Amino acid sequence: MSGTTPPPPSAEAVGTEACFFPGYKPFKPEEHGLERGFRCKVPQEALLKLLAGLEKDQADGTGKAEDQASDFGQQLPGPRLGVGMDCCVIPLRHGGLSLVQTTDFFYPLVEDPYMMGRIACANVLSDLYAMGITECDNMLMLLSVSQKMNEKDRERVMPIMIQGFRDAAEEGGTSVTGGQTVINPWIIVGGVASVVCQPNEFIMWNKIKLVVNKEEVKEAYQEAMFSMATLNRTAAGLMHKFQAHAATDVTGFGLLGHANNLAAQQRNEVAFVIHNLPILAKMAAISKACGNLFNLVQGTSAETSGGLLVCLPREQAAKFCSEMKSQSSGAGGQGAPGGAWIIGIVEKGDRRARIIDKPRIIEVPPRGSQAASQENHSSSPAPSPNLS
């Protein structure tokens, strides 16, 4: 990993045949007793058995430290995370800080060496990002050069892969300061990412399980999946029946982003003011526990195949919601429980949308739950607002 940094590959260089791993025989997992799809991954059950000895207090059940160093480490304050998770979290001796570290590597997935280097780096950093950590202090690169490559191909291909790895690291605000390079039958690329941070800078299941249990997470996942798979056709039909003024679907820009787009297209000088936010049950609490990672309550959290944001006459809004709820129940629960909600008002303004400082969170229960059944039998909302 020492020496001068190779120049960034030009479009011509990356596009030439010589840069697509010439003469390299791809690793085939089925030839080595692995299922296709695992690539170089050891099956999870086998991996946990192999690594059982690394988990203190679990290998022999004695709970005794094997040496003073490991015993001292266990006495340090702060959260600790080890085998089986995205990263290891180790409390340090000084200032209540923790070392968060991860490593990963694999065989080539694509033919372009520059892109393979970038993918490998992004994959390593992703383990930090999965814990809500946005900064990385240092990276090491792990590289195995195939012994089946001739010297000319090796000298052309490997620097480009290294450059891709380094470019991705720089994009992530960090740098590659070293690593290890070996000769192997197959090309292997990966690395190590490390960061020292305070406990409030990373997110662990310990924080989330204070506000939700695993069963509630599973129910929310199922509800999100069914909701994304539900067509907005019923709502589109009811827009005609209840004289809708305008509408848009809520997707990648989030509720507030698409509301802003819709408000900007209005002929009259109006503004959308959002008072209520329908959110899957427990998800607002999880968002808060995660440090508001995706701006869910701020309305800019991206959605995939979301619902419709519909502008209705004031006197029709509650009727629209009531019929959506009725048709949702009659369809065997194919729509989200309740179907539609009144979320705000249209008033004179500057063709923009906003969410009030403390919006009311409407906890949308998963279909089939007791809370969903009670909601389906409740009365319709008051007909004062006209944004649903």
In the predicted model, what is the mean pLDDT of the chain? 78
CATH class (in words) of the domain with range 29-42+76-197: alpha beta
What CA–CA distance (Å, rounded) separates 221 from 216? Answer: 9
Reported as a single tens digit per residue, the pLDDT across 46-85 is 766 776 666 554 434 444 433 433 443 444 444 454 455 6
pLDDT of 379 reads 39
Mean pLDDT of the region 21-48: 53
Domains 29-42+76-197 and 210-367 share a fold: no
pLDDT at 18 over 60: no
pLDDT at 27 over 70: no
pLDDT of 319 reads 95
**Arch. (CATH architecture) of 210-367:** Alpha-Beta Complex (3.90)
pLDDT at 13 over 50: no
pLDDT at 42 over 70: no
pLDDT of 368 reads 67
Best-predicted range by mean pLDDT (8-17, 58-67, 348-357): 348-357
Reported as a single tens digit per residue, the pLDDT across 123-149 is 999 888 877 788 999 999 999 999 989
pLDDT of 274 reads 97
Reported as a single tens digit per residue, the pLDDT across 261-316 is 999 999 999 999 999 999 999 999 988 887 787 889 999 998 889 999 999 999 99
Q: Which of 33-47, 153-167, 235-249 has the lowest mean pLDDT?
A: 33-47
Confidence of residue 326 (pLDDT cuts 50, 70, 90): confident
Reported as a single tens digit per residue, the pLDDT across 327-342 is 876 554 444 445 899 9
| Catalytic center residues | 40
Reported as a single tens digit per residue, the pLDDT across 95-117 is 778 899 999 988 888 889 999 99
Q: Where are the domains of the chain?
A: 29-42+76-197, 210-367
pLDDT of 124 reads 92
